[in-house]
Structure 1
Amino acid sequence: MTWTTHSTRDVYTNPWIRVREDAVTRPDGSPGIYGVVDVAPAVFVVAVDDEDSVVLVELERYTTGVLSLEVPAGGSDGEELLVAAQRELLEETGLLAGSWSPLGAVWALNGVARAREHVFLARELTLGGPAVGAAEEGIRGTRRVPLAEALRLVREGGITDASTVTALTFAALELGRFP
Protein backbone atom coordinates (compact mmCIF):
# COMPACT_ATOMS: atom_id res chain seq x y z
CA MET A 1 0.00 0.00 0.00
CA THR A 2 1.12 3.61 -0.53
CA TRP A 3 0.31 6.96 1.03
CA THR A 4 -3.10 8.39 0.12
CA THR A 5 -3.87 12.09 0.53
CA HIS A 6 -7.53 12.88 1.23
CA SER A 7 -7.37 16.62 1.81
CA THR A 8 -4.88 19.44 2.18
CA ARG A 9 -5.18 22.69 4.08
CA ASP A 10 -2.73 25.58 4.20
CA VAL A 11 -1.62 26.29 7.76
CA TYR A 12 0.78 29.13 6.98
CA THR A 13 2.23 30.85 3.91
CA ASN A 14 4.71 33.63 3.21
CA PRO A 15 6.73 34.52 0.09
CA TRP A 16 9.32 31.80 0.85
CA ILE A 17 7.46 28.84 2.33
CA ARG A 18 4.06 27.20 2.54
CA VAL A 19 3.18 24.93 5.47
CA ARG A 20 0.35 22.53 4.81
CA GLU A 21 -1.38 19.79 6.73
CA ASP A 22 -2.58 16.75 4.80
CA ALA A 23 -5.18 14.23 5.96
CA VAL A 24 -3.69 10.90 4.87
CA THR A 25 -4.00 7.18 4.98
CA ARG A 26 -0.59 5.74 5.89
CA PRO A 27 0.96 2.78 4.05
CA ASP A 28 -0.23 0.49 6.88
CA GLY A 29 -3.85 1.62 6.28
CA SER A 30 -4.19 3.78 9.39
CA PRO A 31 -5.46 7.37 9.17
CA GLY A 32 -3.23 10.29 10.08
CA ILE A 33 -2.06 13.79 9.36
CA TYR A 34 1.18 14.84 7.72
CA GLY A 35 2.70 18.29 7.96
CA VAL A 36 4.68 19.40 4.92
CA VAL A 37 6.78 22.50 4.33
CA ASP A 38 6.89 23.50 0.65
CA VAL A 39 9.95 25.58 -0.24
CA ALA A 40 10.82 27.14 -3.59
CA PRO A 41 13.84 25.57 -5.31
CA ALA A 42 17.16 26.72 -3.87
CA VAL A 43 20.64 27.04 -5.36
CA PHE A 44 24.02 26.30 -3.77
CA VAL A 45 27.28 27.52 -5.29
CA VAL A 46 30.66 25.90 -4.77
CA ALA A 47 32.96 28.67 -5.99
CA VAL A 48 36.50 27.36 -6.53
CA ASP A 49 39.37 29.73 -7.31
CA ASP A 50 42.55 29.09 -9.31
CA GLU A 51 44.35 27.86 -6.18
CA ASP A 52 41.69 25.15 -5.60
CA SER A 53 40.20 27.03 -2.64
CA VAL A 54 36.47 27.18 -1.97
CA VAL A 55 34.79 30.50 -1.16
CA LEU A 56 32.69 30.14 2.00
CA VAL A 57 30.53 32.63 3.83
CA GLU A 58 30.31 32.87 7.60
CA LEU A 59 26.91 33.87 8.86
CA GLU A 60 24.73 33.71 11.91
CA ARG A 61 21.75 31.46 11.29
CA TYR A 62 18.61 32.79 12.96
CA THR A 63 17.09 29.32 13.23
CA THR A 64 19.98 27.77 15.17
CA GLY A 65 21.52 30.86 16.76
CA VAL A 66 25.04 29.78 15.80
CA LEU A 67 27.69 30.92 13.34
CA SER A 68 27.76 28.72 10.29
CA LEU A 69 30.35 28.29 7.55
CA GLU A 70 28.55 27.67 4.26
CA VAL A 71 28.75 27.90 0.50
CA PRO A 72 26.84 30.85 -1.00
CA ALA A 73 23.21 29.86 -1.43
CA GLY A 74 19.65 31.04 -1.57
CA GLY A 75 16.22 30.77 -3.08
CA SER A 76 15.66 30.81 -6.81
CA ASP A 77 13.00 33.53 -6.46
CA GLY A 78 11.27 32.21 -9.60
CA GLU A 79 14.39 32.74 -11.71
CA GLU A 80 16.07 30.22 -13.95
CA LEU A 81 18.34 28.24 -11.63
CA LEU A 82 21.67 29.28 -13.16
CA VAL A 83 20.62 32.95 -13.05
CA ALA A 84 19.69 32.52 -9.38
CA ALA A 85 23.05 30.87 -8.64
CA GLN A 86 24.92 33.72 -10.35
CA ARG A 87 22.89 36.29 -8.39
CA GLU A 88 23.49 34.56 -5.06
CA LEU A 89 27.25 34.34 -5.63
CA LEU A 90 27.44 38.05 -6.46
CA GLU A 91 25.10 39.16 -3.65
CA GLU A 92 26.86 37.15 -0.94
CA THR A 93 30.50 37.40 -2.02
CA GLY A 94 30.81 40.13 -4.65
CA LEU A 95 32.21 37.55 -7.07
CA LEU A 96 31.42 36.65 -10.67
CA ALA A 97 32.34 33.36 -12.31
CA GLY A 98 33.35 32.80 -15.92
CA SER A 99 32.55 29.09 -15.87
CA TRP A 100 29.46 27.37 -14.43
CA SER A 101 28.59 23.67 -14.19
CA PRO A 102 25.46 22.12 -12.68
CA LEU A 103 26.53 19.32 -10.32
CA GLY A 104 23.22 17.80 -9.28
CA ALA A 105 20.19 18.23 -7.09
CA VAL A 106 18.92 16.74 -3.85
CA TRP A 107 15.79 16.86 -1.70
CA ALA A 108 16.46 18.53 1.66
CA LEU A 109 14.67 17.35 4.81
CA ASN A 110 12.46 15.11 2.70
CA GLY A 111 10.71 13.68 5.76
CA VAL A 112 9.03 17.03 6.45
CA ALA A 113 9.77 19.28 3.48
CA ARG A 114 9.44 19.48 -0.25
CA ALA A 115 12.66 21.45 -0.79
CA ARG A 116 14.72 20.86 -3.93
CA GLU A 117 18.33 22.07 -3.81
CA HIS A 118 20.43 22.52 -6.95
CA VAL A 119 24.23 22.61 -6.72
CA PHE A 120 26.49 24.51 -9.13
CA LEU A 121 30.27 24.65 -9.51
CA ALA A 122 31.59 28.15 -10.27
CA ARG A 123 35.13 28.63 -11.63
CA GLU A 124 37.21 31.48 -13.12
CA LEU A 125 36.30 33.85 -10.29
CA THR A 126 36.64 37.62 -10.58
CA LEU A 127 35.56 40.50 -8.40
CA GLY A 128 32.23 41.84 -9.62
CA GLY A 129 31.36 44.42 -7.01
CA PRO A 130 30.26 44.70 -3.40
CA ALA A 131 28.44 41.85 -1.67
CA VAL A 132 25.17 43.78 -1.56
CA GLY A 133 23.14 41.07 0.20
CA ALA A 134 25.67 40.17 2.86
CA ALA A 135 24.51 42.53 5.62
CA GLU A 136 20.83 41.70 5.20
CA GLU A 137 21.51 37.98 5.51
CA GLY A 138 23.86 38.32 8.49
CA ILE A 139 26.97 37.35 6.54
CA ARG A 140 29.98 38.34 8.59
CA GLY A 141 32.54 37.69 5.91
CA THR A 142 33.96 35.31 3.36
CA ARG A 143 36.78 32.82 3.68
CA ARG A 144 38.78 31.01 1.05
CA VAL A 145 39.60 27.53 2.22
CA PRO A 146 41.45 24.86 0.24
CA LEU A 147 38.94 22.22 -0.85
CA ALA A 148 40.80 19.51 1.08
CA GLU A 149 40.61 21.65 4.24
CA ALA A 150 36.89 22.28 3.69
CA LEU A 151 36.33 18.53 3.54
CA ARG A 152 38.41 18.12 6.71
CA LEU A 153 36.20 20.77 8.38
CA VAL A 154 33.16 18.70 7.40
CA ARG A 155 34.68 15.60 8.98
CA GLU A 156 35.70 17.46 12.15
CA GLY A 157 32.44 19.34 12.65
CA GLY A 158 33.60 22.80 11.56
CA ILE A 159 31.08 22.79 8.71
CA THR A 160 27.72 21.49 9.88
CA ASP A 161 25.22 22.85 7.36
CA ALA A 162 23.90 19.73 5.60
CA SER A 163 23.37 21.51 2.29
CA THR A 164 26.96 22.79 2.31
CA VAL A 165 28.22 19.28 3.12
CA THR A 166 26.25 17.97 0.15
CA ALA A 167 27.46 20.74 -2.18
CA LEU A 168 31.11 20.21 -1.19
CA THR A 169 30.73 16.47 -1.73
CA PHE A 170 29.30 17.02 -5.23
CA ALA A 171 32.21 19.36 -6.04
CA ALA A 172 34.89 17.05 -4.66
CA LEU A 173 33.49 14.15 -6.68
CA GLU A 174 33.28 16.27 -9.83
CA LEU A 175 36.85 17.54 -9.40
CA GLY A 176 38.27 14.10 -8.48
CA ARG A 177 39.42 15.34 -5.09
CA PHE A 178 37.49 13.22 -2.68
CA PRO A 179 39.93 12.12 0.03
Structure 2
Amino acid sequence: MTDQPPLMWRTGSKVVYANDWMQVREDEFERTDGSTGIYGVVDKPDFAIVVAEQDGIFHLVEQFRYPIGRRSWEFPMGGWPPGKSGSSLELAQAELREETGFTAGRWQAIAHLYEAAGFCSQGFDVFHATDLTAGDHAREDSEIDMVQGAFTAAQLLAMILDGTIIDSTTIAAYGMWQMLRTAP
Protein backbone atom coordinates (compact mmCIF):
# COMPACT_ATOMS: atom_id res chain seq x y z
CA MET A 1 0.00 0.00 0.00
CA THR A 2 1.29 3.46 -0.83
CA ASP A 3 0.95 6.69 1.12
CA GLN A 4 -0.16 8.79 -1.83
CA PRO A 5 -2.76 11.48 -1.13
CA PRO A 6 -6.27 10.75 -2.44
CA LEU A 7 -6.92 11.82 -6.02
CA MET A 8 -10.54 12.61 -5.21
CA TRP A 9 -12.54 13.48 -2.12
CA ARG A 10 -16.20 13.71 -1.19
CA THR A 11 -17.78 17.14 -1.16
CA GLY A 12 -21.37 16.03 -0.56
CA SER A 13 -23.47 12.92 -0.10
CA LYS A 14 -27.12 11.85 -0.11
CA VAL A 15 -28.77 8.47 0.48
CA VAL A 16 -30.95 7.61 -2.53
CA TYR A 17 -32.16 4.19 -1.31
CA ALA A 18 -32.05 2.28 1.99
CA ASN A 19 -33.49 -0.84 3.61
CA ASP A 20 -32.49 -2.97 6.62
CA TRP A 21 -29.60 -4.64 4.73
CA MET A 22 -28.07 -1.92 2.57
CA GLN A 23 -28.09 1.66 1.41
CA VAL A 24 -27.14 3.34 -1.83
CA ARG A 25 -25.72 6.82 -1.75
CA GLU A 26 -24.65 9.36 -4.35
CA ASP A 27 -21.46 11.17 -3.42
CA GLU A 28 -20.42 14.39 -5.09
CA PHE A 29 -16.65 14.52 -5.41
CA GLU A 30 -13.83 16.74 -6.57
CA ARG A 31 -10.53 15.63 -8.11
CA THR A 32 -7.14 17.21 -7.57
CA ASP A 33 -7.42 18.87 -11.02
CA GLY A 34 -10.64 20.64 -9.91
CA SER A 35 -13.03 18.51 -11.95
CA THR A 36 -16.14 17.19 -10.19
CA GLY A 37 -18.50 14.28 -10.53
CA ILE A 38 -20.93 11.89 -8.87
CA TYR A 39 -20.06 8.44 -7.58
CA GLY A 40 -22.65 5.79 -6.66
CA VAL A 41 -21.75 3.72 -3.59
CA VAL A 42 -23.48 0.68 -2.10
CA ASP A 43 -22.96 0.46 1.66
CA LYS A 44 -23.47 -2.94 3.28
CA PRO A 45 -22.18 -4.30 6.58
CA ASP A 46 -19.18 -6.60 6.43
CA PHE A 47 -19.67 -10.36 6.49
CA ALA A 48 -17.66 -13.49 7.29
CA ILE A 49 -16.90 -16.55 5.16
CA VAL A 50 -15.68 -19.88 6.52
CA VAL A 51 -13.36 -22.32 4.76
CA ALA A 52 -14.68 -25.31 6.71
CA GLU A 53 -12.23 -28.18 6.21
CA GLN A 54 -11.57 -31.44 7.94
CA ASP A 55 -8.85 -33.82 6.78
CA GLY A 56 -8.90 -32.48 3.21
CA ILE A 57 -12.70 -32.46 2.92
CA PHE A 58 -14.35 -29.06 2.39
CA HIS A 59 -17.91 -28.30 3.46
CA LEU A 60 -19.95 -26.03 1.22
CA VAL A 61 -23.60 -25.04 0.92
CA GLU A 62 -25.70 -24.51 -2.18
CA GLN A 63 -28.65 -22.17 -2.44
CA PHE A 64 -30.64 -20.15 -4.95
CA ARG A 65 -29.26 -16.64 -5.41
CA TYR A 66 -32.04 -14.36 -6.61
CA PRO A 67 -29.89 -11.58 -8.17
CA ILE A 68 -28.25 -14.02 -10.60
CA GLY A 69 -31.25 -16.33 -11.01
CA ARG A 70 -29.43 -19.57 -10.24
CA ARG A 71 -28.14 -21.82 -7.52
CA SER A 72 -24.62 -21.30 -6.19
CA TRP A 73 -22.17 -23.52 -4.27
CA GLU A 74 -20.39 -21.46 -1.61
CA PHE A 75 -18.49 -21.70 1.62
CA PRO A 76 -20.75 -20.86 4.58
CA MET A 77 -21.01 -17.08 4.88
CA GLY A 78 -23.21 -14.26 6.02
CA GLY A 79 -23.62 -11.10 8.03
CA TRP A 80 -25.31 -10.11 11.23
CA PRO A 81 -29.06 -9.60 10.95
CA PRO A 82 -30.33 -6.07 11.65
CA GLY A 83 -30.02 -5.26 15.34
CA LYS A 84 -27.35 -7.87 16.12
CA SER A 85 -23.58 -7.47 16.22
CA GLY A 86 -20.41 -9.10 17.44
CA SER A 87 -16.85 -9.79 16.38
CA SER A 88 -16.04 -11.18 12.95
CA LEU A 89 -15.01 -14.48 14.59
CA GLU A 90 -18.35 -14.71 16.42
CA LEU A 91 -20.09 -14.05 13.11
CA ALA A 92 -18.09 -16.78 11.35
CA GLN A 93 -18.90 -19.23 14.16
CA ALA A 94 -22.60 -18.35 13.99
CA GLU A 95 -22.76 -18.73 10.19
CA LEU A 96 -20.99 -22.09 10.19
CA ARG A 97 -23.35 -23.46 12.86
CA GLU A 98 -26.47 -21.91 11.27
CA GLU A 99 -25.83 -23.11 7.72
CA THR A 100 -24.13 -26.49 8.28
CA GLY A 101 -24.68 -27.46 11.91
CA PHE A 102 -20.92 -27.75 12.41
CA THR A 103 -18.99 -26.22 15.25
CA ALA A 104 -15.23 -25.94 15.02
CA GLY A 105 -12.58 -26.52 17.66
CA ARG A 106 -9.94 -24.51 15.80
CA TRP A 107 -10.28 -21.17 14.02
CA GLN A 108 -7.70 -19.23 12.03
CA ALA A 109 -8.26 -15.74 10.65
CA ILE A 110 -6.90 -15.62 7.09
CA ALA A 111 -7.66 -12.23 5.55
CA HIS A 112 -9.92 -9.21 5.32
CA LEU A 113 -10.93 -8.51 1.71
CA TYR A 114 -13.41 -6.29 -0.14
CA GLU A 115 -16.12 -7.77 -2.31
CA ALA A 116 -16.42 -5.09 -5.00
CA ALA A 117 -14.28 -2.08 -4.09
CA GLY A 118 -15.23 -0.22 -7.28
CA PHE A 119 -18.78 0.47 -6.07
CA CYS A 120 -19.36 -1.19 -2.68
CA SER A 121 -17.93 -0.52 0.80
CA GLN A 122 -18.62 -4.09 2.01
CA GLY A 123 -15.70 -6.16 3.19
CA PHE A 124 -15.44 -9.70 4.45
CA ASP A 125 -13.29 -11.71 6.81
CA VAL A 126 -12.02 -15.12 5.74
CA PHE A 127 -11.63 -17.84 8.37
CA HIS A 128 -10.38 -21.41 8.27
CA ALA A 129 -12.32 -23.74 10.59
CA THR A 130 -11.11 -27.25 11.51
CA ASP A 131 -11.69 -29.84 14.22
CA LEU A 132 -15.33 -29.92 13.12
CA THR A 133 -18.14 -31.46 15.16
CA ALA A 134 -21.45 -32.19 13.43
CA GLY A 135 -24.74 -30.91 14.79
CA ASP A 136 -28.10 -29.62 13.62
CA HIS A 137 -28.22 -26.56 11.38
CA ALA A 138 -30.50 -23.62 12.21
CA ARG A 139 -31.05 -22.02 8.81
CA GLU A 140 -32.99 -18.81 8.34
CA ASP A 141 -36.24 -18.75 6.35
CA SER A 142 -34.37 -17.34 3.35
CA GLU A 143 -32.12 -20.43 3.41
CA ILE A 144 -34.93 -22.99 3.28
CA ASP A 145 -33.68 -24.41 -0.05
CA MET A 146 -30.06 -24.68 1.17
CA VAL A 147 -28.26 -28.00 0.88
CA GLN A 148 -24.75 -28.86 1.95
CA GLY A 149 -22.07 -31.02 0.46
CA ALA A 150 -18.60 -32.29 1.26
CA PHE A 151 -15.88 -32.17 -1.40
CA THR A 152 -12.24 -33.13 -1.73
CA ALA A 153 -9.72 -30.48 -2.74
CA ALA A 154 -9.61 -32.00 -6.25
CA GLN A 155 -13.40 -31.84 -6.54
CA LEU A 156 -13.46 -28.26 -5.26
CA LEU A 157 -10.80 -27.17 -7.75
CA ALA A 158 -12.64 -28.91 -10.61
CA MET A 159 -15.88 -27.15 -9.59
CA ILE A 160 -14.10 -23.78 -9.70
CA LEU A 161 -12.46 -24.47 -13.06
CA ASP A 162 -15.60 -25.84 -14.75
CA GLY A 163 -17.79 -22.94 -13.59
CA THR A 164 -19.86 -24.90 -11.08
CA ILE A 165 -18.58 -22.60 -8.33
CA ILE A 166 -19.19 -19.02 -9.48
CA ASP A 167 -19.14 -17.17 -6.17
CA SER A 168 -16.13 -14.86 -6.15
CA THR A 169 -15.86 -14.72 -2.35
CA THR A 170 -15.70 -18.52 -2.17
CA ILE A 171 -13.00 -18.60 -4.85
CA ALA A 172 -11.05 -15.81 -3.13
CA ALA A 173 -11.35 -17.51 0.28
CA TYR A 174 -10.12 -20.81 -1.15
CA GLY A 175 -7.24 -19.03 -2.90
CA MET A 176 -6.24 -17.25 0.29
CA TRP A 177 -6.38 -20.55 2.21
CA GLN A 178 -4.21 -22.22 -0.45
CA MET A 179 -1.66 -19.40 -0.34
CA LEU A 180 -1.50 -19.45 3.44
CA ARG A 181 -1.15 -23.24 3.47
CA THR A 182 1.71 -23.25 0.95
CA ALA A 183 3.51 -20.04 2.03
CA PRO A 184 7.16 -20.55 3.01
Give the equivalent residue in structure 2 for 1:60: 64
3-state secondary structure, aligned to 1:78: coil
* Bigger Cα displacement from structure 2, 149-158 vs 24-33: 24-33
Give the equivalent residue in structure 2 for 1:114: 121
Post-superposition offset of 1:59:
0.5
Post-superposition offset of 1:26:
3.7
1:151/1:168 contact within 8 Å kept: no
- What does 1:129-148 correspond to in 2, within 5 Å? 129=136, 131-133=137-139, 135-148=141-154
* Bigger Cα displacement from structure 2, 84-93 vs 138-147: 138-147
1:57/1:139 contact within 8 Å kept: no
Counterpart amino acid of residue 155 in structure 1: L
TM-score (norm 1): 0.90
Task: Tell me the percent identity.
Answer: 35
- What does 1:72-83 correspond to in 2, within 5 Å? 72-76=76-80, 77-83=84-90
Post-superposition offset of 1:12:
1.6
Counterpart amino acid of residue 55 in structure 1: H
Greater share of residues in strand: 1
Per the alignment, do residues 133 and 3 of structure 1 end up closer, same or farther by CA in structure 2, a change over 3 Å counting?
A: same
- What does 1:24-63 correspond to in 2, within 5 Å? 24-26=29-31, 29-50=34-55, 52-63=56-67
Q: Which residue of 5, 14, 21 corresponds with 2:10?
A: 5
Q: Which residue of 76, 91, 102 corresponds with 2:109?
A: 102
Counterpart CA distance in 2 for 1:145 and 1:163 is: 17
1:62-88 residue CA offsets vs partner (Å, 9 max, x unmatched): 111101000000014521110100000
Post-superposition offset of 1:39:
1.1
Post-superposition offset of 1:139:
4.0
Which segments of structure 1 move beyond 3 Å, counting only runs of 4 or more?
26-29
3-state secondary structure, aligned to 1:113: coil
Counterpart CA distance in 2 for 1:66 and 1:26 is: 40
Per the alignment, do residues 9 and 108 of structure 1 end up closer, same or farther by CA in structure 2, a change over 3 Å counting?
A: same
Unaligned runs of 5+ in 1: none
Per the alignment, do residues 90 and 81 of structure 1 end up closer, same or farther by CA in structure 2, a change over 3 Å counting?
A: same
1:93/1:134 contact within 8 Å kept: no
Q: Does 1:167 align with 2:182?
A: no
Post-superposition offset of 1:48:
0.2
Q: Does 1:176 align with 2:182?
A: yes
Post-superposition offset of 1:38:
0.9
Give the equivalent residue in structure 1 for 2:19: 14
Question: How many corresponding residue pairs?
Answer: 175
1:128-164 residue CA offsets vs partner (Å, 9 max, x unmatched): 32x2115522443101011232122212211110000
Q: RMSD of aligned C-alpha atoms?
A: 1.8
TM-score (norm 2): 0.88
